[in-house]
């Protein structure tokens, strides 16, 4: 295994002692196969870390893994589109636009081939936006879909409102800030949500907490019909090609779902609470978290192996089910929330969000004379 340390840049007028230690430094190790695999697949990664309040940009520089952390408080869902990124945080959604013409100006020189700068944000309040995805909406393409866990619905964002409700499961009787079913994952097809995950088909405030180890389900959108059920705290449904996958998180498994019969086939067993899933070619990138000792996660089946669980990333070859590369955070990060692929990217740099110093960019040349 190879090792690394990544430190967060702290504003000059801040006192490091006021920040939790996990916000200042994270250590990690990775299998030697990971940089080579990323280069072979032609991609880099974005990994959000809710507990640490960071988004990690993972790429390759000089054949070694390069990890950069940027602070986005309670970073959750991440959406990647051509030329832009959306990041859900504590009470807002950040929008980063691509400015890769600046990439070679950012030290270390030659390290980055893509650059994304935070250009705007929409304040949503604490919706618990577990996942985000670019797609189509009433106004056409370029619509951002948000899994609004607090209100048990799929939503859009709009500068005039905290959110615009677009769809909710048929068993949810009304919009209420009560996290009734823990709607948390979304699979897109042809620009629209096609499947979602819930932890339980509950219409009571926080009702999913009562029985969550075998009450999870994948629902079809827009019908709301159950595609498969009996899951333990599922997350991250994804369509890869025409195949549906889901993370049976409480069991630590990546599973393939037959959408006709509802039967599930295990693809890989992972050494962590599985949440966050992305694909590139024949490989799946699976986010892994340690179990937090709370009444939410403590009773999950995988909690039996608490001391052996890892936080990081496992890369699974879908053809064999084997884990062929790993990234493990050994300190500073204990919980992975989302994983997204940046295609056709070697290493990307993200501009900082609130609370960090910003570089100031301007168009070249002098202003026109009047």
CA distance 91 to 163: 11
Phi, psi of 105 (to 5 degrees): -90, -5
DSSP for 211-279 reads: S-SS-EEEEETTT--EEEEEESS-EEEEEETTEEEEEEGGGTEEEEE-TTT--EEEEEE-SSEEEEEEE
Q: Which residue, among 221, 231, 147, has the nearest Cα to 183 in the 3D structure?
A: 147
Residues 6+ apart with CB under 8 A from 247: 185, 234, 235, 236, 253, 254, 255, 274, 275, 276, 277, 286
CA distance 148 to 347: 31
Q: Which residue, among 253, 268, 237, has the nearest Cα to 300 in the 3D structure?
A: 253
CA torsion through residues 70, 103, 88, 280, sign? negative
| Domain boundaries 2-10+19-350, CATH class | mainly beta
Model confidence at 205, in pLDDT bands (50, 70, 90)? very high
CA distance 291 to 334: 8
Q: Mean pLDDT lowest for which of 36-50, 123-137, 174-188?
A: 123-137
Q: Are strands 25-30 and 322-331 parallel, antiparallel or unpaired?
A: antiparallel
What is the token pair recorded at 219?
């629902």
As a whole-number percent, the residues of the chain with pLDDT over 90 amount to 73
For residue 23, give the H/E element and its range: helix 21-24
pLDDT of 141 over the 90 cut: no
Model confidence at 12, in pLDDT bands (50, 70, 90)? very low
Q: pTM of this prediction?
A: 0.90
What integer pLDDT is reported at residue 365 of this predicted model? 54
CA distance 362 to 102: 11
Phi, psi of 301 (to 5 degrees): -55, -35
Domain ranges of the chain: 2-10+19-350
CA distance 88 to 147: 10
What are the pLDDT digits (tens) for 151-160?
999 999 988 9
CA distance 77 to 338: 6
What is the token pair recorded at 152?
């048990």
Model confidence at 353, in pLDDT bands (50, 70, 90)? low
Average pLDDT on 229-242 reads 96
CA distance 122 to 219: 28
Model confidence at 218, in pLDDT bands (50, 70, 90)? very high
What integer pLDDT is reported at residue 295 of this predicted model? 53
What are the pLDDT digits (tens) for 22-76?
446 889 999 999 999 999 999 999 999 988 899 999 999 999 999 999 999 899 9
Q: Which residue has the higher pLDDT, 362 or 326?
A: 326
Q: C-alpha distances in angstroms, 204 versus 164, 168, 221, 224, 296?
A: 22, 14, 21, 18, 16
């Amino acid at each position: 295994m190879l090792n690394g340390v990544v430190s967060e840049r702290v504003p000059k007028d801040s006192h490091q002692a006021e920040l939790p230690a996990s916000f200042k430094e994270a250590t990690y190790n990775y299998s030697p196969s990971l940089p080579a695999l990323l280069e072979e697949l032609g991609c880099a990664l974005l990994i959000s870390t809710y507990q640490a309040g960071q988004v990690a940009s993972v790429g390759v520089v000089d054949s070694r893994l390069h990890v950069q952390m940027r602070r986005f408080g309670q970073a959750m869902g991440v959406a990647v589109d051509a030329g832009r990124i959306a990041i859900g945080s504590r009470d807002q959604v950040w929008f980063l636009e691509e400015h890769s013409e600046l990439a070679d100006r950012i030290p270390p020189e030659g390290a980055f081939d893509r650059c994304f700068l935070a250009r705007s944000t929409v304040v949503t309040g604490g919706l618990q936006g577990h996942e985000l995805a670019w797609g189509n909406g009433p106004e056409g393409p370029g619509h951002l879909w948000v899994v609004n866990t607090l209100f048990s619905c799929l939503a859009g964002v709009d500068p005039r409102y905290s959110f615009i409700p677009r769809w909710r499961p048929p068993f949810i009787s009304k919009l209420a800030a009560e996290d009734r079913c823990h709607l948390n994952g979304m699979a897109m097809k042809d620009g629209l949500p096609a499947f979602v995950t819930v932890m339980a088909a509950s219409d009571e405030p926080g009702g999913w907490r009562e029985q969550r180890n075998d009450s999870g389900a994948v629902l079809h959108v827009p019908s709301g019909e159950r595609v498969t059920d009996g899951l333990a705290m599922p997350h991250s449904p994804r369509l890869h090609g025409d195949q549906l996958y889901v993370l049976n998180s409480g069991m630590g498994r990546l599973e393939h779902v037959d959408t006709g019969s509802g039967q599930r086939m295990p693809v890989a067993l992972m050494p962590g609470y599985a949440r966050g899933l992305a694909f590139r070619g024949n490989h799946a990138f699976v986010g892994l978290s340690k179990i937090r000792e709370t009444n939410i996660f403590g009773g999950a089946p995988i909690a039996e192996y608490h001391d052996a669980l890892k936080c990081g990333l496992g890369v699974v070859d879908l053809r064999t089910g084997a884990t062929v590369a790993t990234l493990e955070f050994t300190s500073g990060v204990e919980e992975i929330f989302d994983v997204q692929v940046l295609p056709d990217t070697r290493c990307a740099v993200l501009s900082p969000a609130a609370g960090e110093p910003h570089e100031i960019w301007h168009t070249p040349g002098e202003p026109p004379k009047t």
